Structure 1
């Protein structure tokens, strides 16, 4: 899942072509002028006098100041045209020469190539994850979901701690209740009916789920059993990583490490209204649902009653499983906007 960035050929060609375009040269000239203006306003003699971080800040400010100007619009339009041209040329050649493309609609092939391009860019510049905010109220494309979730649920320190314990103190990476956790994981994977790719238990999904939850419980220093909610919360992550998890043998170590990082980050940062353990956060759930109902009522008053009924159902005992598309849509919204302060 990790490795050297490989950019699609069409993306490399687009970059080369844009770099030679007059619109690019005009924009760079305007950007240089804007940077000089910012230097003058801040009484900085030379760009070279700035520290690296300050240079980035100045260029970013200058770039933002140009976004409402003609140079920016012309470059944007030229880049879009050249990008369309390169992708369409690539797909046209593929449809003529690649037997695997026979019967596949052109728009589908274009989307696949564009997703490959997005993935390669995100691997190089993970800070561009904020672009996923464009997915407000729409699902994240399946091929991009793994990248999006791993970027937003990222905590290298959590992964480092896990790896160090495995290497130096492996017993501390396993719960005293490992056998019980194993049995519960197997039962949960068997009864859930949302994700057919991870259950009934496949070997890979079972061992990955058990490894993460056993490690998580071991770090809590808690003698009580894990609440069933903790088992439910890992299922969407397992599904997202399922293309990288074997069905017939235990999941690879690097996949388990990523899953540990995602899970611990989510548990740490999740909203209080999701912390439904032992009913201790019902007030947060009610407060959140009231706020949502208030906003919805401004557009459709009947939704207030519907939401109240739904929240009441959540308070009842028993486990319920949403259909896959609905559940993943909810998780996409929560995950890709987890960095937005409400």
Structure 2
């Protein structure tokens, strides 16, 4: 029930609820029940359930026709009208109050009514015959799309199979849906869309081009012929593309489901065309063309005699301009009309009318597709109306070719209101009667108050169920139940097959996913092994470097120890020689990035003059220690000078170092906020367990390192 309610607008569901709760509806049901019961009594049928579905439908329609026009029926119609108007108005008022839309109240009423009509047509497609109320009116876009789809969905013949066949070919063998002349069809479609003035709205649309090309290419592949498509078949595909343009992107090819629907409508339309529109040159089609031209000629003489005279005069050779008989003039008129309007009828006015006017003409054509003879009459009326609207321009024609040129140029300027006015003034009653005559006389009238059978009218249109015996009805009912069970079982089998197919597809997708996952795992494992090898190699190099460094340190320690235990020479060593020996063992520190001082080689102190007589107070050990301390002091001074700089450089270095220290403090606080959600109090970190301290320290170090790298990247970008 929830799914059904979502199909209809809320105001329509509320309207239905109010109607079914009204007393007028109860009275209508009671009277309808009485009418059906009388039919059952007269037909000697005990129960309504004993009837077949066609019989039930027939009894219901007879009963409805019997009470139609009565007091109860009229009361219900008035109630429905009032409640519909009230529900729709309340819904629109609610939208204006709560949603504050940009549209006016009139626009909202039209949109809501359109939504309700669409929902009813989708639920009950057979109600499409009610669209005769739209006669002589251009259909709104969404109703136009649904109307064309309903009238061009001929499931009794081949349209559904064509649509299904096209989808199957797209899924299994897309190449089979492409014509051998696909390139030629593409060129013609591109040229037509880019050059024809009446197709300006479609020009430059990639989706329209590909949809039109795919439709025509598939249509030609179905024909199984080596002949190329006619130009008129390219023209007839354009209105279908324009109607479907809202579902097609201008920059991308259309989806397959949209093309499948266009293919169905286009091929059904081509198969339902009258013979005078097909005009293939066969004898049957030639006869239909002649009959259609005769109808147009007679209608033109009656409505626009001046146009018929102009055509007669223009198509008479100059040397034969003599007083013609009435029969001869009519023959000249039909001959002239044959030349003038034949191309226009073949294309059903495509390229002769601008697109909105053309779609208005095609809307009426679609509404009358199921009504025999309607479209013949409609196309003749449109042709005569068109010639009558441009009659002033036709007077300027000097030759048949000039008249054709004027027809092509001036017809594109005609508008929908011009056609509506002429048709409403002269032809609407006849067209409406032709469109609704079968609906009015389809069912006989049965008066429940009469004891005898009423005078039937057109009873032969109905299939009267024969009188049967109870055992025959019981047997028929059992057969119907068996058939119903068979259909249910068939539906269950189809559903089971569909579920199995879905499961197979799901398993295939899972297997594909598992294979892809295995490939990804293998690739990740290979990368991990390669990285592990690189890590091991780097670790090995580091260990070797550490061993070499440790060996050098040990060697230096040994040399230093040896120097300490070496006996002093007969005279004290010079400071210069001792400094030179130690300076060769100490490696100069690297320069600081913040310092701009160029590192100079270690300055060797000038040799100290040897005392002629050593001071007796200093022992050799004290002299050696003094020299080492003096060397270390000078080394420290050099390192401090390199590390901390001097003068302005020292001030700059101190300022920059202070900035780094402050930034480091801010990074530590921000990292604490990221990891702990707050800044830690003094000593709070030390109270945490060692494991938590280690984990949180690593997270904070990673965050700080990340922020430092980002700042460094920004500084480098600015310098560039």
In structure 2, list runs of 5 or more residues that go unmatched.
154-158, 312-332, 374-720
- Which residue in the other structure is 2:198 paired with? 194
1:130 Cα deviation from its structure 2 partner: 0.7
Match of 1:209 among 212, 224, 236: 212
- Which residue in the other structure is 2:9 paired with? 8
Secondary structure of the structure 2 residue equivalent to 1:34: helix
Match of 1:234 among 223, 231, 237: 237
1:290 Cα deviation from its structure 2 partner: 2.3
- Which residue in the other structure is 2:357 paired with? 326
Which string of whole-angstrom CA distances, capped at 9 and with x for unpartnered residues, describes residues 294-320 of structure 1?
A: 356556655756896766433469984
In structure 1, list runs of 5 or more residues that go unmatched.
none
Q: How does 1:71-110 map to 2 (within 5 A)?
A: 71-99=72-100, 101-102=101-102, 104-110=103-109
- Which residue in the other structure is 1:133 paired with? 132
1:172 Cα deviation from its structure 2 partner: 2.0
Secondary structure of the structure 2 residue equivalent to 1:194: helix
Higher-Rg member (1/2): 2
State how far apart, in whole Å, the 2-side matches of 1:193 and 1:46 are: 65
State how far apart, in whole Å, the 2-side matches of 1:218 and 1:111 are: 43
- Asked whether the equivalents of residues 156 and 261 of structure 1 are also in contact (C-alpha less than 8 Å), the reply is yes
- Asked whether the equivalents of residues 198 and 351 of structure 2 are also in contact (C-alpha less than 8 Å), the reply is no
Which string of whole-angstrom CA distances, capped at 9 and with x for unpartnered residues, describes residues 44-97 of structure 1?
A: 111011123321221122112222212111111100110000111111121222
1:160 Cα deviation from its structure 2 partner: 1.4
Query: Are 1:291 and 2:295 matched, yes or no?
Result: yes
Aligned length: 337
State how far apart, in whole Å, the 2-side matches of 1:138 and 1:258 are: 25
Which string of whole-angstrom CA distances, capped at 9 and with x for unpartnered residues, describes residues 261-299 of structure 1?
A: 001100111111211456984542341242245356556
Q: Normalising to structure 2: TM-score of the pair?
A: 0.44
Match of 1:314 among 338, 341, 353: 341
State how far apart, in whole Å, the 1-side matches of 2:204 and 2:282 are: 29
- Which residue in the other structure is 2:35 paired with? 34
- Asked whether the equivalents of residues 229 and 276 of structure 1 are also in contact (C-alpha less than 8 Å), the reply is no
- Asked whether the equivalents of residues 186 and 201 of structure 1 are also in contact (C-alpha less than 8 Å), the reply is no
Q: 1:292 to 1:41 in 2, by over 3 A?
A: farther
1:7 Cα deviation from its structure 2 partner: 0.6
1:171 Cα deviation from its structure 2 partner: 2.4
- Asked whether the equivalents of residues 189 and 209 of structure 2 are also in contact (C-alpha less than 8 Å), the reply is yes
- Asked whether the equivalents of residues 193 and 321 of structure 1 are also in contact (C-alpha less than 8 Å), the reply is no
- Which residue in the other structure is 2:170 paired with? 166
State how far apart, in whole Å, the 2-side matches of 1:30 and 1:300 are: 53
State how far apart, in whole Å, the 2-side matches of 1:316 and 1:36 are: 58
Q: How does 1:260-279 map to 2 (within 5 A)?
A: 260-277=263-280
State how far apart, in whole Å, the 2-side matches of 1:273 and 1:121 are: 35
State how far apart, in whole Å, the 2-side matches of 1:163 and 1:74 are: 50
Q: 1:120 to 1:311 in 2, by over 3 A?
A: farther
1:215 Cα deviation from its structure 2 partner: 0.3
Match of 1:224 among 208, 221, 227: 227
Secondary structure of the structure 1 residue equivalent to 2:197: coil
1:41 Cα deviation from its structure 2 partner: 2.1
State how far apart, in whole Å, the 2-side matches of 1:182 and 1:332 are: 28
Query: Are 1:56 and 2:57 matched, yes or no?
Result: yes
Q: CA RMSD in A?
A: 2.5
Q: Normalising to structure 1: TM-score of the pair?
A: 0.90
Q: 1:173 to 1:26 in 2, by over 3 A?
A: same
